[in-house]
Amino acid sequence: MTEETINEGDAADGGGAGGVAEADRDALLAAHVIRAVGVKKVYELGGEKVHALRGVDLSIARREYVSIMGPSGSGKSTLFNMIGGLDKPDEGQVFIDEVDIAALDNFELAWLRCHKIGYIFQTFNLILVASALENVMMPMMFGGMPEADARDKAAGLLRRVGLGHRLLNKPSQLSGGQQQRVAVARALANDPAIVLADEPTGNLDLKTGEEIIALLESLKHEFDTTVISATHDHKMLAASDRVVYLTDGRITDIKHREELNIQFGQIESQDDDAEERS
């Protein structure tokens, strides 16, 4: 399975309702790494229908840092899973590099998740019996990289995140911040176009959380990667190019970094701040 195989299959489908002509597709591909078009998702819980997403439209540019915020039940996690190729919409389309994920079979989706997307989780999700080096090597091994090459690349990534002296330590021998750094290195293992960070500072203290945020921001530029974070941490917003707010399955607001007045423990728009002073 290769990127060309997936792209050829998508082109053969004609793109469906959200499809575009070849020239337009190339232009979109150059500008956006993710497009969600009219995305709806309904779950059944206890015999009742829960509308997790109610027609979401969102485009995310290459090398952009986007934070997604919303209360519990807002649809934030569902949208996050759609972007990560972990779920498919009931209606609408989600394009990753202009490939409609709903048109992919399980093998193609697995290829996309392995090569296009890196994941960072609140609870780290490291393999407890494996060393830091082995944890970072694993996505590369799944992707077919020779073991010697994977070992060298994993060691380089761990050195880049400040853990060159901890290559052989297992997660139980690392602090929370060090474990999250291993997770960041693992997310970058296959040079993904997108890094998805699900509450990456949620289990960390203030100082360590700030260090992880700074690391993600610097790696976005260094590795030419789009970073998307689902977060409640206002410190994360200081690194964001845009903040997307969800409520009841709908996007209620999108603000650029310069529109926000971020202070410790709170965040408000510049307009709200001006009103308060008047």
What does the pLDDT average to over 154-159? 97
Contact 44, 50 (CB under 8 A): yes
pLDDT score at 35: 95
- 13 found inside a domain: no
Question: In which domain, by residue range, is 137 found?
Answer: 61-88+105-277
C-alpha torsion angle, residues 34, 37, 38, 39 (rounded to 10)? -30
Mean pLDDT of the chain: 86
pLDDT score at 46: 87
d(CA 128, CA 153): 21
Among residues 233, 228, 237, 241, the alpha carbon closest in space to that of 261 is found at 237
- Three-state DSSP state, 154: helix
Looking at the structure of the chain, the number of domains it has is 1
Q: Is 276 or 144 the better-scoring residue by pLDDT?
A: 144
d(CA 112, CA 116): 5
Give the global pTM: 0.83
The yes-or-no verdict on residue 29 having pLDDT over 70 is no
Residues 176-222 have pLDDT tens digits of: 999 999 999 999 999 999 999 998 988 888 888 899 999 999 988 89
Q: What is the CATH number of the domain that holds 144?
A: 3.40.50.300
- 204 found inside a domain: yes
- 195 found inside a domain: yes
Q: 216-237 as b/e, with b when 16 or more CB fall inside 10 Å?
A: bbebbeebebbbbbbbebbbbb
- 44 found inside a domain: no
Q: Is 278 or 188 the better-scoring residue by pLDDT?
A: 188
- 160 found inside a domain: yes
The yes-or-no verdict on residue 231 having pLDDT over 50 is yes
Residues 110-154 have pLDDT tens digits of: 999 999 999 998 899 999 999 999 999 999 999 999 999 999 999
The yes-or-no verdict on residue 5 having pLDDT over 70 is no
- 31 found inside a domain: no
Contact 153, 140 (CB under 8 A): yes
Nearest 5°: phi and psi at 90? Answer: -75, -35
